[in-house]
């Protein structure tokens, strides 16, 4: 009995446990005293929240990148907080209101979803309807047209299948080394994806194909598919915004001028034709942008573009807007419960490392 109690006490006083408790206590104190209140920290500015996949827990556990996933219940909790403290809506509408100088009771915030995943339609759509919130869905047009997963998902499922098989690990390392990647981080799909981003697009695709061949199957479950143009049209008809996430989900700064025009102009034209709605907003794949690509976005007829840089926005840099990435695990207390004060802390500009 004594040993069990001592073990529990030692665990409860571990450095990580103490750090988490201090963080949560600080978040609660700052929230109660109004220091991190959204009106105080975000008033007069435009905030943008980012989500990716919305999957039940059983499916999240089988997805190679769980940090990109919120469950429907987590999305419900996050939207409940955001709708209480912000004036929420789709990006085009919120950005136009902001630039127009509209005075609002709560700070303006746009809700966005990246990558055009079917689970957004199946699982996020009813949660958004329950909260009366419209959102923007950014779509990689070629992937939707072909109903083909994005390269990082294909790579992730292939690596996951190899790691879980008895002989797969032995086949994995030679493929990575042949692609010029190191063994560091090779035991996780996330580590390989991070390294792969340094490869040229053609080299990344060759790596994906080699890994899929080694795995013996694409290993892609039905839940992982992308939305169809019909489903996107339904979202648009309901008042949600559909934006472009490029044609091929390439990293824009690595494109030459001709490729940039294809990724930007072609994706916008196809989307407008298929969903019968104007396409005003662009999302840089992986958040990668520079002044050259921002200028190209403007020339292609878009009115705004978003990155993955953290923070809210003033009136400048409308083609390199910052966003807040909503990672459920990072706004939970030590017991795994959503802690609104912690989200307020992270969005306040005071949280260490997120300024």
Alpha helices (runs of H) in the chain, residue ranges in sequence order: 2-12, 15-32, 38-42, 57-60, 72-85, 91-99, 118-119, 125-131, 141-146, 151-164, 168-178, 189-196, 201-215, 229-237, 257-261, 267-275, 291-299, 340-347
pLDDT for position 342: 97
| Contact predicate 223/57, CB 8 Å | no
Angle between helices 201-215 and 151-164 (to 10 degrees): 30
pLDDT for position 101: 95
pLDDT for position 105: 96
pLDDT for position 6: 39
Per-residue pLDDT of the chain (355 residues; tens, 9 = 90+): 434 453 443 455 566 688 899 999 999 999 999 999 999 999 999 999 999 999 999 999 999 999 999 999 999 999 999 999 999 999 999 999 999 999 999 999 999 999 999 999 999 999 999 999 999 999 999 999 999 999 999 999 999 888 888 777 788 889 998 998 887 766 788 889 989 988 888 899 999 999 999 988 656 899 999 999 999 999 999 999 999 999 999 899 989 999 999 999 999 999 999 999 999 999 999 999 999 999 999 999 999 999 999 999 998 889 999 999 999 999 999 889 999 999 999 999 999 988 6
pLDDT for position 167: 75
Domain chopping of the chain, boundaries: 39-148+222-347, 151-215
pLDDT for position 186: 64
Q: Which tokens is 277 given?
A: 């709605």
Q: What is the DSSP string of 64-118?
A: S-GGGEE-HHHHHHHHHHHHHHSEEE-HHHHHHHHHTT---SS-EEEEEEES-BH
pLDDT for position 171: 85
| Contact predicate 52/113, CB 8 Å | yes
**Superfamily designation of domain 39-148+222-347:** Glycoside hydrolase/deacetylase (3.20.20.370)
């Amino acid at each position: 009995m004594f040993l069990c109690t001592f073990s529990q006490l030692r665990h409860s006083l571990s450095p990580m446990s103490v750090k988490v408790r201090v963080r949560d206590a600080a978040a609660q104190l700052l929230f109660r005293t109004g220091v991190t209140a959204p009106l105080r920290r975000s008033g007069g500015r435009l905030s943008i929240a980012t989500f990716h996949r919305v999957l039940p827990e059983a499916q999240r556990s089988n997805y190679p990148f769980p940090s990109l996933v919120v469950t429907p219940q987590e999305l419900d909790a996050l939207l409940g907080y955001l709708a209480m403290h912000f004036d929420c809506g789709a990006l085009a509408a919120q950005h136009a209101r902001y630039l127009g100088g509209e005075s609002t009771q709560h700070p303006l915030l746009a809700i966005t979803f990246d990558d055009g995943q079917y689970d957004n339609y199946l699982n996020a759509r009813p949660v958004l309807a329950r909260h009366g919130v419209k959102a923007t869905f950014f779509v990689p047009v070629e992937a939707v047209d072909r109903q083909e997963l994005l390269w990082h998902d294909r790579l992730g499922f292939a690596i996951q299948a190899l790691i879980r098989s008895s002989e797969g690990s032995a086949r994995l390392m030679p493929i990575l080394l042949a692609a010029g990647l190191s063994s560091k981080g090779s035991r996780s799909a996330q580590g390989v994806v991070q390294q792969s981003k340094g490869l040229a697009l053609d080299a990344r695709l060759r790596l994906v194909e080699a890994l899929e061949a080694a795995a013996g199957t694409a290993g892609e479950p039905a839940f992982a598919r992308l939305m169809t143009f019909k489903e996107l049209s339904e979202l648009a008809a309901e008042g949600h915004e559909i934006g472009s996430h490029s044609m091929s989900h390439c990293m824009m700064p690595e494109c030459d001028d001709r490729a940039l025009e294809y990724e930007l102009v072609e994706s916008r034209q196809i989307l407008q034709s298929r969903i019968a709605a104007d396409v005003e907003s662009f999302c840089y794949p992986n958040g990668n942008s520079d002044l050259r690509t921002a200028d190209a976005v403007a020339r292609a007829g878009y009115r705004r573009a978003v990155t993955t840089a953290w923070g809210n926005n003033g009136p400048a840099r409308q083609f390199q807007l910052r966003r807040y990435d909503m990672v459920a695990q990072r706004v939970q207390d030590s017991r795994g419960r959503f802690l609104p004060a912690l989200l307020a802390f992270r969005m306040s500009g005071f949280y260490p490392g997120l300024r």
